[in-house]
Amino acid sequence: MLPSFLASFATFFATIGPVEAAVIFAALTPQMMRPERTRVAARAVGIASIILFGALFAGGPLLKQLGVGIPALQTAGGIILLVIALDMIFARPTSAFKLTPIEDEEAHVKEDIAIFPIATPLLAGPGAIGAVILMAAGASADTASYSGVVLALAAVMILTFILLFLANELSRALGVTAQRVLMRVFGILLAAIAVQAVFDGFAGSGLFDTARG
């Protein structure tokens, strides 16, 4: 279970981006008092958790109904995660870690920012949802590994709430350089996990066996 937990934790931490979300959360809530910020953070993490755990438990069966096999999911998910990882390594934040100008403008005038933009697309964005489905599908054959994925997601969401709760302090303590270093470290780990997922997808597809035959 431990290897599955560690791989899933690194993947979820990289794709959910709790540090980046906390920095944006601090920028969007400068006038809020601590109790109000705590309520917004709890609501945002709760909604994002519902979305991500829903994807974890229902994503695999849904894809199966659509005729998408595990090897295809591993290959496609690995490629998507690799693109995200490369952007992280070269410090080019993707849409998963920043808002578009239109989203930023709407977020500043929106009364309830818990749902948009914090819960989605910042926390439960396409990359995070894809990563959850990918890791769950890869561990579905083994109960211990699957439990590791579930625990990893729960741990990352708890950590995300803590970082949102401490968003102002975190924003002041972490400079841009520290954020970029952290992003690059997890980007490298995510790249390795993504490439392994692609390898597993190709191996499971039987394409190489067919080519040899």
Joined together, the tokens standing for residue 95 give: 């849409």
> Do 10 and 193 contact (CB within 8 A), yes or no?
yes
Over range 38-65, report the average pLDDT.
92
Taking only the tens place, the pLDDT of each residue in 166-184 is: 998 887 787 777 777 887 8
CA distances (Å), origin 2, targets 44, 77, 143, 151: 28, 22, 12, 10
User: Is the distance from CB of 139 to CB of 148 less than 8 angstroms?
Assistant: yes
Structural domain including 39 reads: 2-205
CA distance 146 to 116: 30
List of residues 6+ apart from 183 with CB closer than 8 A: 19, 20, 88, 91, 93, 97
Mean pLDDT of the chain: 85
In a domain, 74, yes or no: yes
Is 102 among the domain residues? Answer: yes
How many CB atoms neighbour CB 58 within 10 A? 12
Is residue 212 domain-resident? no
213 assigned to some structural domain? no
- In angstroms, the CA 69 to CA 200 distance is 12
Is the pLDDT at 203 greater than 70? The verdict is yes
Does residue 211 sit within a domain? no
Higher pLDDT, 87 or 159: 159
Work out the burial of residue 17: count CB atoms within 10 Å of its CB; fewer than 13 is exposed, 13-18 middle, 19 or more buried. buried
Domains held by the chain: number: 1
**pTM for the whole structure:** 0.80
- On whether residue 96 sits in a domain, the answer given is yes
CA distances from 85 to 11, 53, 80, 114, 174 (A): 10, 22, 9, 26, 21
Query: Would you place residue 143 in the very low, low, confident or very high pLDDT band (cuts 50, 70, 90)?
Result: very high
Chain segment 102-135, per-residue pLDDT in tens: 666 665 555 578 988 899 888 998 889 989 999 9
Within a domain: residue 132? yes
Higher pLDDT, 10 or 77: 10
In a domain, 179, yes or no: yes
